[in-house]
Amino acid sequence: MNINNYKQYISAETMMGPNSIRILEELFNKYPLQVTPDDAILDLGCGTGITSLVIAKETGARVYANDLWVNAEENGKRFEKWGIGKQVIPVCEDANDLHFKEKQFNALVSIDSYHYFAGHKGFFQEKILPFIKDKGVVLIGIPGLKDKYTDRAEELLSDWLGDEAYMFKSSTRWKELIGSSDRVESVKTWEMDCFSKAWDEWLAVDNDFARGDKRHFEAIIEPYTCFVGIYIKLK
């Protein structure tokens, strides 16, 4: 995947944090999705849908762009404007209570959102797994804690994140939280390489949230946090 193909879409209007397309690029390069135009992919917590656009263009598959804070009408208008209205379906549902069909998706992709709702044991098995087809793949990229600081999020990140610090977990912890199932072949978690680029591109954006993050970057974000990649392969 060549991120330069998407530069025109990566803007203050569409970005909601560190460059999500960088995170997606690393996941796709490491674990390319083998899908066809007849297959369906769920982009869970898609925000303004920029990741859904890239998933659609890179894979050719039908993409269900689900988010909670950004409504489906708003995303639908953006998808029409981007010329992907027929391929990408906007949905607005809580990840805790999705209403898709059983085994509807060949793959699930989730960038910078899974940590908001999935940080407890059993979530993956109960809320996600039923919607994924056999042999399906799950690719997740989220901010987290470096492994050497496992379980120290509240102590180290509260000045930046307040009472949301607990959401940041290390790759070791995420592997435990995803857990196992007789439908799961393998789970891999790791600290991603794209950290510096994704953050640099976000901190350069003219936006109050980016300016807020900039104040904590050197003292907190860079020393203690990373992006955690999660790859799950079903049997």
Chain residues in the site for ligand SAM (CB under 6 A): 16-17, 20, 45-47, 50-51, 67-70, 94-96, 111-113, 116-117
Q: How far is the CB of 183 from ligand SAM (least distance, A)?
A: 22
Q: How far is the CB of 52 from ligand SAM (least distance, A)?
A: 9
Pairwise CA distance, residues 25 & 158, whole Å: 29
What SS3 class is residue 35?
Answer: coil
Q: How many helices (H) and strands (E) does the chain have?
A: 10, 7
**Shorter beta-carbon distance to ligand SAM: residue 39 or 201:** 201
CB 220 within 8 A of CB 159: yes
Q: How far is the CB of 82 from ligand SAM (least distance, A)?
A: 15
Q: How far is the CB of 182 from ligand SAM (least distance, A)?
A: 26
Q: How far is the CB of 114 from ligand SAM (least distance, A)?
A: 8
**Shorter beta-carbon distance to ligand SAM: residue 51 or 106:** 51
CB 213 within 8 A of CB 207: no
Q: Which runs of E-coded beta strand occur in the chain?
A: 40-44, 62-66, 88-91, 105-111, 132-145, 184-191, 225-234
Which residue is at the shortest CB distance from ligand SAM? 47
**Shorter beta-carbon distance to ligand SAM: residue 110 or 180:** 110
C-beta neighbour count of 65 within 10 angstroms: 31
**Shorter beta-carbon distance to ligand SAM: residue 39 or 43:** 43
**Shorter beta-carbon distance to ligand SAM: residue 16 or 129:** 16
Q: If we measure between CA atoms, which residue out of 186, 175, 192 comes closest to residue 232?
A: 186
